């Protein structure tokens, strides 16, 4: 089987959980789990629990089906996540787990435990060697590396830094340690547009680096202290925080692609990738807001190549609406950068064969 064979099952534009479960069952049946997962393999399922007010993340009911599929191969599934850089309940293991339970990712509902791959505070990591262009070593969450196999269950959305956030983003940012996330963000230095700043002080309260100070009646960012986490952009309601995304987006997309390679290094043949193209919103599931989809539901994609999977996500969204998910969400950004860089470093191929089921 070619690694870039993809399987796709269509969904109606407004699909129910039952319809998504039917579609996922067909995809899971088609994917060759028996070849990939051996008895007693410890299998990480990486998904996203959604931020506090997010309602469009992948449902626990779908995650449960993946758990059962792994168990049918006698594998040992666990859900995994990493801490965020920014403030909030997802920035350490204790409150992240409490939060995940509150969104329904309990053992009772999903059938598997959650193990935070980067430990209590996000600093449990393994530095792995990669044949990258920007990096020769990347810092990946320790237990993501120790797992025998990986099932990446991603929810494509638009993304304010990378155009789209799908499998590559879920891998690269989602499975890096805190230091790894910092390294990926480090070129992003925001600044304040003084004419828009009302000095509501929200960004001062949320900045994890205390890099924002009052100056002449508005907020001011001390560039040297800023880690580039993007929290200020997320909390400012007045559109006063600015980034030079044109250049910086390309930079962060390339870094994410290299970290994505690091996350699967040593088990590239032991990975399965699934993208759920439903409830696709302009902003990602990290945003602490309830959002409406920017596009109708399209379907569920599965395969063995995360680059092909994200390419097909762009192509299928374009096929349905005339514009792809990135262009619908952040037209000023070009999400193709992450795909071409990932292909260049050997993570996968953009060319694929799609089998519609
Ligand atoms: S959150 Fe926005 S408006 Fe409020 S102080 Fe910060 S930059 Fe100014
Ligand atoms: S100023 Fe820098 S460190 Fe502080 S919230 Fe903004 S991006 Fe993060």
Query: Could you say which ligand is closest to the alpha carbon of residue 209?
Result: 2
Task: Verify whether ligand 1 is closer than 6 Å to residue 284 (CB atom).
Answer: no
Task: Verify whether ligand 2 is closer than 6 Å to residue 190 (CB atom).
Answer: yes
How far apart, in Å, are the Cα atoms of 255 and each of 26, 128, 180, 217, 228? 34, 15, 10, 36, 14
Q: How much is the mean pLDDT over the chain?
A: 94
Query: Could you say which ligand is closest to the alpha carbon of residue 192?
Result: 1
Burial of residue 26, with CB atoms counted within 10 A of its CB: 0-12 exposed, 13-18 middle, 19 or more buried: middle
Which pLDDT value is given to residue 335? 97
Percentage of the chain exceeding pLDDT 90: 82
Which pLDDT value is given to residue 3? 67
Q: Given the CA of residue 202, which atom of ligand 1 is nearest to it?
A: 1
- Ligand 2 centroid from CA 241, angstroms: 10
pLDDT of 186 over the 80 cut: no
Which of 182, 203, 211 has most ligand 2 atoms within 8 Å of its beta carbon, as the pocket-test mutant? 211
- Counted residue by residue, the chain has a size of 357
Of the candidate ranges 6-20, 125-139, 181-195, the one whose mean pLDDT is the lowest: 181-195
Ordered domains of the chain (ranges, CATH): 5-184+245-356 (3.40.50.11440), 189-242 (3.30.70.20)
pLDDT of 206 over the 60 cut: yes
pLDDT of 1 over the 60 cut: no
Which pLDDT value is given to residue 246? 57
Nearest to 238 by CA among 208, 274, 282, 197: 197
Section 186-194 average pLDDT: 86
Question: What's the whole-model pTM score?
Answer: 0.87
Burial of residue 18, with CB atoms counted within 10 A of its CB: 0-12 exposed, 13-18 middle, 19 or more buried: exposed
- Ligand 1 centroid from CA 214, angstroms: 10
294-346 pLDDT, tens digit per residue, is: 999 999 999 999 999 999 999 999 998 899 999 999 999 999 999 999 999 99
d(C-alpha 258, C-alpha 333), whole Å: 19
- Ligand 1 centroid from CA 228, angstroms: 16
Q: Ligand 2: which residue has its CA nearest to atom 2?
A: 226
Of the candidate ranges 72-81, 220-229, 237-246, the one whose mean pLDDT is the lowest: 237-246
Q: How confident is the model at residue 350 (pLDDT cuts 50, 70, 90)?
A: very high
pLDDT of 87 over the 80 cut: no
Q: Ligand 1: which residue has its CA nearest to atom 4?
A: 200
- Ligand 2 centroid from CA 264, angstroms: 29
Section 46-50 average pLDDT: 96
- Ligand 1 centroid from CA 222, angstroms: 14
Task: Verify whether ligand 1 is closer than 6 Å to residue 236 (CB atom).
Answer: yes
pLDDT of 165 over the 80 cut: yes
Section 57-69 average pLDDT: 98
- Ligand 1 centroid from CA 227, angstroms: 18
pLDDT of 68 over the 90 cut: yes
Which pLDDT value is given to residue 195? 96
Which pLDDT value is given to residue 247? 61
Q: How confident is the model at residue 50 (pLDDT cuts 50, 70, 90)?
A: very high
Which pLDDT value is given to residue 245? 63
């Amino acid at each position: 089987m070619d690694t870039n064979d993809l399987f796709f099952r269509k969904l109606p534009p407004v699909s129910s959980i039952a319809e998504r479960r039917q579609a996922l069952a067909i995809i899971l049946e088609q994917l060759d789990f028996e070849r990939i997962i051996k008895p007693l393999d410890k299998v990480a399922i990486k998904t996203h629990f959604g931020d506090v007010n997010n309602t469009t993340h992948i449902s626990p009911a779908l995650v449960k089906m993946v758990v059962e599929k792994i168990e049918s191969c006698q594998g040992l599934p666990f859900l995994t996540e990493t801490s965020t850089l920014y403030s909030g309940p997802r920035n350490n293991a204790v409150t992240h787990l409490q939060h995940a339970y509150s969104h329904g990712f309990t053992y009772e509902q999903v059938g598997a435990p959650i193990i935070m791959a980067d430990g209590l505070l996000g600093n449990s990591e393994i530095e792995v060697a990669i044949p990258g262009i920007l990096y020769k070593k990347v810092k990946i969450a320790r237990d993501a590396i120790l797992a025998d196999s990986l099932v990446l269950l991603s929810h494509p959305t638009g993304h304010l830094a990378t155009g789209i956030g799908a499998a590559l983003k879920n891998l690269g940012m989602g499975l890096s340690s805190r230091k790894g996330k910092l390294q990926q963000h480090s070129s992003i230095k925001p600044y304040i547009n003084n004419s828009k700043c009302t000095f509501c002080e929200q960004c001062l309260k949320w900045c994890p680096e205390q890099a924002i100070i009052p100056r002449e009646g508005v907020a001011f960012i001390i560039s040297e202290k800023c880690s580039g986490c993007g929290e200020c952009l997320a909390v400012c309601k007045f559109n006063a925080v600015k980034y030079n995304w044109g250049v910086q987006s390309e930079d962060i997309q390339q870094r994410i692609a290299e970290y994505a390679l690091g996350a699967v290094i040593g088990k590239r043949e032991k990975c399965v990738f699934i993208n759920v193209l439903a409830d696709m919103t302009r902003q990602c599931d990290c945003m602490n807001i309830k959002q409406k989809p920017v596009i109708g539901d399209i379907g569920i994609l599965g395969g063995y190549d995360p680059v092909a999977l994200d390419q097909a996500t762009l192509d299928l969204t374009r096929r349905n609406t005339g514009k792809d998910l990135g262009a619908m969400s952040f037209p000023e950004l070009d999400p193709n950068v992450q795909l071409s860089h990932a292909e260049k470093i050997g993570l996968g191929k953009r060319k694929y064969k799609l089998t519609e089921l």
